[in-house]
């Protein structure tokens, strides 16, 4: 068996941590609420919404979606995360995917709004992903997503990609029993690259801003900076 690629490593990571994910990120992880804050003014009774990388449903939890669950759809690569989300939001149609293009096989409508929080940093080719997601947007539909920027002189965000691990001891300390260390790979981009990716995909950037998504664990407490993009679908 060959070595796993980055997307497979990240899928297995989130599958394994799914049952402790909400507890581990409660109160500290700001990306879902940042995305939800941009999305709330765009929601209506008939808004067709896709949560790309729905995870355990942290963005949906930050939105008041109880009245429109029948118009909400979600996808994720990690079956464990999907199981948690389905228990929280039984009215949402959630599917497991291995690639974004599989969404076209589900018979779903075009979407007025696609949200993605804390997902792009685990995908190596977001230029290709943006082109695919644009195909699923209705004319004038919007995509709101976060990503990790490359930041010079930042101790954790200087490199294009980094591989980190959750050790067996650390996992045990938060109630997760694993047989070996868990690896995860994060990818980053310059803001001008993301602008170019969106333009190539046919997306017009409406907002592009930075925020502190979380702080590393003590004693480090390094702030992790994320960028949030709100983009609109142009004519096909």
Helices (H), the chain: 6-25, 31-39, 58-62, 79-88, 126-135, 168-173, 191-201
Coil/strand/helix, residue 186: strand
- Encode pLDDT of 69-95 as tens digits: 779 999 999 999 999 999 999 989 999
Q: Of 59, 61, 65, which Cα lies nearest the Cα of 31?
A: 59
Longest Cα–Cα distance of the chain, Å, equals 52
Structural domains in the chain, sorted by start = 6-233 (3.40.50.150)
Q: 9 pLDDT band (50/70/90 cuts)?
A: confident
CA distance readout (Å), 205 to 12, 70, 77, 142, 156:
32, 28, 27, 10, 27
Determine whether 153 is exposed, middle or buried from the number of CB atoms within 10 Å of its CB (0-12, 13-18, 19+): exposed
- Encode pLDDT of 98-139 as tens digits: 999 999 999 999 999 999 999 999 999 999 999 999 999 999
How many helices (H) and strands (E) would you count in the chain?
7, 9
């Amino acid at each position: 068996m060959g070595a796993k690629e980055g997307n497979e490593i990240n899928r297995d990571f989130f599958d394994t941590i799914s049952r402790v994910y909400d507890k581990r990120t409660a109160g500290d992880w700001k990306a879902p609420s940042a995305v939800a804050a941009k999305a709330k003014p765009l929601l209506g009774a008939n808004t067709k919404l896709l949560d790309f990388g729905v995870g355990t449903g942290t963005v949906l939890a930050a939105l008041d979606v109880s009245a429109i669950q029948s118009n909400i759809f979600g996808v994720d690569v990690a079956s464990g995360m999907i199981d948690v989300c389905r228990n929280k939001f039984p009215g949402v149609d959630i599917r497991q995917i291995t690639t974004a293009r599989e969404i076209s096989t589900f018979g779903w409508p075009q979407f007025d709004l696609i949200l993605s929080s804390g997902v792009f940093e685990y995908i190596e080719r977001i230029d290709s992903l943006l082109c695919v997601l644009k195909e699923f947007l209705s004319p004038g539909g919007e995509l709101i997503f976060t990503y990790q920027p490359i930041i010079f002189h930042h101790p954790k965000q200087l490199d294009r990609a980094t591989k980190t691990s959750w050790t067996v001891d650390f996992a045990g300390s938060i109630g997760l029993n694993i047989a070996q260390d868990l690896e995860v790979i994060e990818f980053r981009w310059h803001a001008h690259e993301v602008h170019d990716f969106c333009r190539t995909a046919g997306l017009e950037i409406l907002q592009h801003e930075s925020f502190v998504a979380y702080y590393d664990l003590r004693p480090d407490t390094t702030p992790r900076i994320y960028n949030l993009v709100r983009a609109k679908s142009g004519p096909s």
